[in-house]
Amino acid sequence: MKFPAQFLWGAASAAYQVEGASTADGKGENIWDAYSREQGHIMHHENGDVACDHYHRFREDVKMMRDMGIKNYRLSISWSRILPDGTGAVNKKGLQFYSDLVDELLANGIEPLVTLFHWDYPLPLHHKGGWLNRESVDWFAEYTEVVVKALSDRVQYWMTINEPQVFIGNGYDNGSFAPFLQHPRAEVAQMCHHVLLAHGTAVSVIRKYAKKKPIIGFAFVTPANTPKSQSPEDIEEACRKTFTFQPNAITFNNAWWTDPIFLGDYPKDAYEILGDDMPQILPGDLECIAQPVDFYGVNIYQSKATPQQYSYSENAFLGCPRTQMEWPITPEVLYWAPKFLYERYGVPIMITENGMACHDWVYLDGKVHDPCRIDFMKRYLRELHHAITDGVPVIGYMYWSIMDNFEWASGYDKRFGLVYVDYQTQQRTVKDSGAFYKKVIETNGAAIFSDTLD
């Protein structure tokens, strides 16, 4: 009972969450740099100025990953570290950092998977209108070209954009993430369209300039509704609800983002519901968005459910298990989400993020014992294996995250990592879950079928 022979086992991180070095070596300012320093946005008024100091410690971090058996590392590039003004002059020291990181990974037998954008939007471009400005498509294309020309002789796996549902929905709709704004619905819809155009344009840029044959996808958050029973009627209902357009939070609709990429247009019900708030779609836009990709990258933590004001949502119940983020633990979503996505879009699936935050600390014996995380991984990975045995082509699993880090508006309280970070000393301690994941990788997944927590 193993995973496919060429399955990609790995872990993930994001530049702003781990690198620190917020002003080092010519790096420009991004929206998280700027707005996390304002009072009232981030827990304990924390920020990513230092984070895990990965920028200065990447060599020891990579060796730690090697010792943990990590075979694939999904990292993101800081746009403002490469182009301090967002466009124009290239910061050679910033580009050299990523080149050195890629070299270090490869030297230690670890395949880099590069995400071009993971939320840290350059501040100068934000002041020019950001994603609301159609020129944002060209800005992203320029940045993509610089990175691809520099790294594609060694990097094969590319992801354009991470979780636009979150950085648009939380950043510009409900105002809970940087830049902490609330725009009218029509403007939010237009931003979404520009993000999709930027994705499609970036796919074309990667294919044009890549030196190694690229394998291209994205990393969208795409939870699925899960059926109440195994009846065909309940399964069909769960699938329908997974993709039905809901008007109350447009950015968190699955089909809104991926139907244009794979099916060539926005969902019909989006046109009906949004009406005059639909984005302006120019000739050629939909063809640009629908550039072929090689895999559907999906970040999944829990099943999808419509929140209820005074009662439990569909994925919760009285006393249900929850992570430190208060998310219900719903392992079955790692079966149903890949299944529904593959049946609708017909491309291979990569789990680009999955994991949990829990209450971790260094015990008296000097170790970090996190049996809850091991149990979580076993439950979710068993469901993913079930999807694969039922014919869904899943090509990889990237645990989120390789180490504890800056968890956006939650600051440093929430710990997702396989590695514990003491932020006072920057000392790393591999958790029990990190040792367990090494066994998972060594056995190509067979270790998940043991019911003991080791």
Q: Which of 98, 110, 71 is nearest to 397 (CA)?
A: 71
- The pairing of strands 427-430 and 419-422 is antiparallel
HSE-CB for 64 with a 13 A CA cutoff: 19
Contact assessment for residue 76 and residue 117, using Cβ atoms and an 8 Å cutoff: yes
Q: Which two tokens stand for residue 45?
A: 């008024």
Rg (CA), the chain: 21
Contact assessment for residue 440 and residue 448, using Cβ atoms and an 8 Å cutoff: yes
Q: How far apart are CA 424 and CA 300, in angstroms?
A: 31
Q: Angle 92-107/136-151 helices, nearest 10 degrees?
A: 50
Q: Torsions phi, psi of 309, nearest 5?
A: -70, -40
Q: Which residues pair with 11 in a beta bridge?
A: 73, 399
Please tell me which residue in 19, 46, 163, 407 is annotated as part of the active site: 163
Q: Which residues pair with 353 in a beta bridge?
A: 299
Q: How far apart are CA 62 and CA 73, in angstroms?
A: 9
How far is the first Cα of the chain from the last one, in angstroms, to the nearest whole number? Answer: 18
Q: How far apart are CA 241 and CA 229, in angstroms?
A: 15
Contact assessment for residue 159 and residue 147, using Cβ atoms and an 8 Å cutoff: no
Coil, helix or strand at residue 446: helix
163 is catalytic: yes
353 is catalytic: yes
DSSP 8-state code for residue 11: E
- Torsion of Cα atoms, 19 then 21 then 22 then 26, to 10°: -120
Q: How far apart are CA 89 and CA 318, in angstroms?
A: 56
DSSP 8-state code for residue 55: H
Length of the chain counted residue by residue: 454
Q: How far apart are CA 354 and CA 376, in angstroms?
A: 10
DSSP 8-state code for residue 403: B
DSSP secondary structure letters along 160-175: EEE-HHHHHIIIIIS-
Q: How far apart are CA 205 and CA 148, in angstroms?
A: 8
Please tell me which residue in 46, 314, 353, 407 is annotated as part of the active site: 353
Catalytic residues, which ones? 163, 353
